[in-house]
Amino acid sequence: MNQFVWIDIGVKDLDRAVNFYRHVLNNDLSIEEYEGFKFAVFAHEGADVAGCLVPKADFVPLPDSTLIYLNVDGRMAEACELVEQKGGKLLQPPHAIGPHGERALILDSEGNHLALHSTLSNEN
């Protein structure tokens, strides 16, 4: 059983954030609306751990005290290039994290501090 079941990532500009995550994660987010509230859900199946982008009027970016790892397996180099092309910032290039693969630290288009993760190392 997964200990983590869902993640809400706060954003200032929903459309900008959807564009960023669609490209960097190669994930088709769906824009949904419930009781007049619009948000974007990451594509997922069944009991996959997933999440959504939630626009907030009083948005404050996620600091580095909590680090969410996002899966870019087999696409680390491409994903890192897309981070900056889509309005984010590469804070730390891909680096090994022992037997757990590699990660890169980024700021997303909204200023949230996150990690990209791949179990495949030495990608070209």
Q: Look at residues 16, 13, 24, 19 and name the one whose alpha carbon lies nearest to residue 83.
A: 24
Per-residue model confidence as pLDDT tens digits over 2-50: 788 999 999 999 999 999 999 999 999 999 999 999 999 999 998 889 9
Q: How far is CA 80 from CA 27, 36, 37, 38, 51, in A?
A: 15, 34, 31, 28, 21
Mean pLDDT of 86-113: 97
Cα dihedral sign, 39-44-46-47: negative
CATH fold of 6-118: 2,3-Dihydroxybiphenyl 1,2-Dioxygenase; domain 1 (3.10.180)
Q: Above 80 in pLDDT, residue 115?
A: yes
Q: Strand pairing of 89-96 and 69-71?
A: unpaired
Mark out the alpha helices in the chain (DSSP H runs): 14-24, 76-85
